[in-house]
Amino acid sequence: PKAYNTVDAEVRAYVYSLVSALGGTGADEDGKYLLGDDALACLKDIKKWLKLYDEKSNRLDVARCLAEANLVNGDLLEILAAWPEEATDDKLTSKISLACLELLVPLTWPIEKSEMQMTINHHRHVPYLQLAQTEYKRRIIQHDALILRTALRIVLPSIALPQEERTSRDEGIIKLLLYFLRNVAMISVPPNLPIEGSEGEVSRSATVEAFHKQEVLALLLTVASNMGEDFNTQDTVILEVLFHLLKGVDVEKLFMDKEQMAASNSDELKSLLKKEANMHRSYARNAPTRHNRFGTMIWVKRDNARGMSAVSGQDVLTDTQHTLTKMDQSKKWDKPKQRSKDTDQSSDRFDLPISLDSSATDHLRCFVEEFLDSSFNPLFSHIRRAIEREADRVLEAHTQQFFYLVSWFLEAERVRRRKKTEALKKSRGPASKLTTDFEADSFALIASVLNQETFILLNRFMQDRLDMKSWRDVNAGTRALTQILLIVQEMAQSSLEEDQEIAENIQNRIFYEETTHDRIIAILRGYKDQGFGYLDCSTELAHVFLRMLERYSRENVDLQVRSRRRARKSKKAAARQRGDAADGEDDENASEMEDVVEAERVSRERKFDFTRFSARFMNQACIDTFVAFTRYYKDLSSEQLKRAHRFFYRVAFKQELSVMVFRLDIIALFYRMIKGPQGLDTAGSTYREWDELVRQLVKRLVKKMEQRPEMVVELLFSKIRSSVFYLENGYEEQRVEKK
Amino acid sequence: RANSVGLGIDEEIKVRKARQPIAKLDEDRLLSQAGIPKLRRTAKERLRFKGKGHEYSDAARLLQFYQLWLDELYPRAKFADGLAMIEKLGHKKRLQTMRREWINEGKPHINRN
């Protein structure tokens, strides 16, 4: 009733009359749905209203009225449900079904408007419509009559035709269905809106379940595997469906079998309980042993005229550390913080983990395996080409989704191979060799994204989006590159000689370009509150890249990289100085001194030195990124903690630049991780490694402070580049490096 | 007086007392006697380490030393906040020159030229 003032009364009246003329459940037909006399015309009229009123004048009024009139649940779904299987040939009823689908697609279409496009009218209707859409989805996937399957039936005649015989109407119908599936996959419970306890019914598990049961997954496989043959323009929609089906799904968990799952679940519970007990213990250690009005008070004696500060509470008696912590906590002022930019609510987010129940896991795993076996190459190479030639149907978001899915499927393939090997090992016993019948799967199944064209596209995409500061895109690209590196690494260890060769080639290409090296550093340096997702992917890429390059350059001692001099100035300066201080790397250009202009543009090969390269990671910005990452230590997995550990180990001990981490906030963080309060779990696997690292670092720090009293001041600040060397070594750097 | 009717000149001007300015942790404060000079002075006598085998108690001592110093220099801020503010100040020209000077003071004199 109070909603009546939101929409023009006349519009509402028209729409309502159309909906009621469409048909209804008849009391004398025991609740069966009966079509109105002019049902088809009604459906067409409603469609016209949506198009000519809502779309034309950029409003959502008709959609709102239709939601209030319960058109989808009360009529459309009932009509579809009443469409008997044997009546597929009936012209009129199939026409009506199609008309229903034509309405369902716009009604379930995601409402994604940027702040700029929103009108008052939108603000008024969007929350209501979002809730209505979740309700649509719930009814669509839960309906007894298998609505999705019915929708497939509408399209089957068109799909069955070979591509050249399809009319544009057929193509349109296929697209309509795929968009319908996309919408259903995409709708999720709107964040920040109340929903009456039906979250489970529209969850990812429920979606997967329905897609499996109603043969949608099979259809997706058919279309995807025939991409480029029977299908052509449907690639991006399929991409979207896959994206919304798979985003956030944990690959590792997907491939666990039942026992592992159960074990890991009960392990999880056990470890969570243990963690909680640990937390309680550390709390109890500091908790008061007497009642809260016991009224202890102590003085902290100061060395200046001010004399004392008073701290109360008996817990402060135990030791100085507690007292000081308490003094600190009782301060009322907080440094104003910048509001975090990580408030993105859109449905494109892929870095929020999603959990699936066990039966959905099974279905999805089967689907993913079949997809890898049959559809990955045709679909992904097809989309890549579409993106490259900037086809009309390719939208901005598709490239991001493409790279996210590339990374997702590559990881899935890796995990699948690993599981297979493990299973094989188990069945054969540990001693036997694995080589004989393991040849069956080479890496050909995913070869379509391991070619030069993809690398070029990926590089361009990452550089582009990095320049545009489009962080979610960078995130997707980073993930893809990380997974490519990992899979190449596995290929290099394959027993097939051919695979090894290919891997060698790819590695050559990836490591050859210095711009790639620069970009990875730039991504790592580029962290400035983009949220945890960015931290995670950028640190992972840096970690994987460094380790692989280290190994690679150890095996290929005479590795060359192509470097590019950009600045004219530095070039000229180098040319001028070449006379007196001949630097090793400049020798080969010495003869070409006269054509400096040419030399500017020419790419030069230069010998690659891993130590020097990894030293480039040891700058303050990169260290700060890893520190920011480590600050989340309470929530990090042991694999992530290891990643941070290795990095700091590299900084302090491999590169001998421990001075860089000698900064009080970092020391305080490390100290807190080990000694608490709220430190790392002492039973955790990484605790020992961290303990050792921190201990060694402090040892060095103490020594350093005794050697060099100026460290007392420098401990407060990020180090100035020029003083790092002196602080570390105690003498000036002899040779001034030219860059 | 007649001219001023309606111009609002007659109305009494309320003098609002200026707010007490909030003390800032800036370069001046950091470089004042209670700031880094004091840190350098007191570190020599107060900061003693036990060395090998006592890493964590040494680290705790170090952190406590700085926390007390910071609390006296700028009682308003929590330790972590204060550290972040000081770190930021360290990028200023003036502090950079001072830091370089302090480092140079510690350098062996023979090599200076």
pLDDT per residue over A543-590, tens digit each? 999 999 888 888 877 777 777 654 444 555 555 555 544 444 444 454
Q: Is A732 helix (H, G, I), strand (E, B) or coil?
A: coil
B77 vs A331: CB contact, 8 Å cut-off?
yes
Residue A676 in tokens: 């608490």
Q: What is the mean pLDDT of chain A?
A: 82
B68 vs A694: CB contact, 8 Å cut-off?
no
Structure confidence at residue A524 (pLDDT):
92
For residues A82-86, average pLDDT: 75
For residues A209-231, average pLDDT: 90
B84 vs A694: CB contact, 8 Å cut-off?
no
Structure confidence at residue A564 (pLDDT):
63
DSSP-assigned states of every residue in B15-37: -PPPPPPPP---HHHHHSTTTHH
Structure confidence at residue A581 (pLDDT):
47
DSSP H or E segment with residue A504: helix A497-512
For residues A625-635, average pLDDT: 92
Pick A266 or A663 by higher pLDDT.
A663
A732 vs B111: CB contact, 8 Å cut-off?
yes
Pick A178 or A739 by higher pLDDT.
A178
Question: In this model, does residue A216 exceed pLDDT 80?
Answer: yes
A709 vs B44: CB contact, 8 Å cut-off?
yes
Residue A604 bridge partners (DSSP): A563
Question: In this model, does residue B96 exceed pLDDT 80?
Answer: yes
pLDDT digit string, tens, across residues A429-438: 655 554 444 4
CA A379 – CA A430 distance, rounded (Å): 38
* DSSP alpha helix (H) spans, A214-305: 216-225, 235-246, 251-254, 258-286
Structure confidence at residue A436 (pLDDT):
46
The 3-state DSSP composition of chain B as helix, strand, coil percent (nearest 5) reads: 55, 0, 45
B71 vs A304: CB contact, 8 Å cut-off?
no
Interface with chain B: mutation pick from A321, A328, A663, highest number of B CBs within 10 Å? A328
Q: Find chain A residues with C-beta within 8 A of B60's C-beta.
A: 320-321, 671, 675
Q: Are A666 and B87 in contact (CB under 8 A)?
A: no
Structure confidence at residue A420 (pLDDT):
85
The chain B residue lying nearest A328, using CA atoms, is B78
Rg of chain A over Cα atoms, rounded to whole angstroms, equals 32
B63 vs A664: CB contact, 8 Å cut-off?
yes
Kindly report which listed range (A32-46, A319-333, A464-478) carries the lowest average pLDDT score: A319-333
Q: Using a CB–CB cutoff of 8 Å, tell me whether A718 touches chain B.
A: yes
Q: Find chain A residues with C-beta within 8 A of B76's C-beta.
A: 331, 333
Structure confidence at residue A89 (pLDDT):
67
Which span out of A175-189, A586-600, A655-669, B98-112 was modeled with the highest average pLDDT? A175-189
Burial of B31 (0-12, 13-18, 19+ CB in 10 A): middle
For residues A247-264, average pLDDT: 79
For residues A655-668, average pLDDT: 87
Among residues B4, B39, B87, B67, the alpha carbon closest in space to that of A325 is found at B67
Which span out of A462-471, A624-633, A729-738, B60-69 was modeled with the highest average pLDDT? A624-633
For residues A587-594, average pLDDT: 47
Which amino acid, A312?
Answer: S
B43 vs A709: CB contact, 8 Å cut-off?
yes
- Band the pLDDT of A738: cuts 50, 70, 90: very low
B76 vs A333: CB contact, 8 Å cut-off?
yes
Q: Find chain A residues with C-beta within 8 A of B83's C-beta.
A: 664-665, 668, 716
Pick A83 or A159 by higher pLDDT.
A159
Structure confidence at residue A669 (pLDDT):
93
CA B1 – CA A46 distance, rounded (Å): 75
- Band the pLDDT of A400: cuts 50, 70, 90: very high
Structure confidence at residue B109 (pLDDT):
60
Interface with chain B: mutation pick from A713, A715, A733, highest number of B CBs within 10 Å? A713
A671 vs B86: CB contact, 8 Å cut-off?
no
ipTM: 0.85
Q: Using a CB–CB cutoff of 8 Å, tell me whether A675 touches chain B.
A: yes
Would you call the peptide bond into B37 cis, given omega within 30 degrees of 0 as the criterion?
A: no
Q: Using a CB–CB cutoff of 8 Å, tell me whether A280 touches chain B.
A: no
Question: In this model, does residue B56 exceed pLDDT 80?
Answer: yes
Q: Using a CB–CB cutoff of 8 Å, tell me whether A89 touches chain B.
A: no
Burial of A210 (0-12, 13-18, 19+ CB in 10 A): buried
For residues A161-166, average pLDDT: 88
DSSP E strands in A421-577: the ranges are: 560-564
Looking up tokens 């006697």 gives B33
B87 vs A668: CB contact, 8 Å cut-off?
no
B42 vs A303: CB contact, 8 Å cut-off?
yes
For residues A488-512, average pLDDT: 86
Interface with chain A: mutation pick from B76, B85, B99, B101, highest number of A CBs within 10 Å? B99
For residues B82-88, average pLDDT: 90
Residue A534 in tokens: 């960015």
CA A246 – CA A134 distance, rounded (Å): 19
Question: In this model, does residue A359 exceed pLDDT 70?
Answer: yes
Structure confidence at residue A218 (pLDDT):
92
Among residues A192, A188, A181, the alpha carbon closest in space to that of A218 is found at A181
Q: Find chain B residues with C-beta within 8 A of A665's C-beta.
A: 80, 83-84, 87
Provide the chain A residues 291-320 that lie in CB contact (below 8 A) with chain B: 302-304, 306, 309, 320
A717: which DSSP letter? S
Pick A444 or A644 by higher pLDDT.
A644
DSSP H or E segment with residue A66: helix A61-68
Structure confidence at residue A520 (pLDDT):
92
A309: which DSSP letter? E
Looking up tokens 């491999």 gives A654
Burial of A272 (0-12, 13-18, 19+ CB in 10 A): exposed
- Band the pLDDT of A540: cuts 50, 70, 90: very high
Measured in degrees and rounded to the nearest 5, phi and psi for residue A34 equal -115, 135
CA A235 – CA A251 distance, rounded (Å): 23
For residues B48-75, average pLDDT: 85
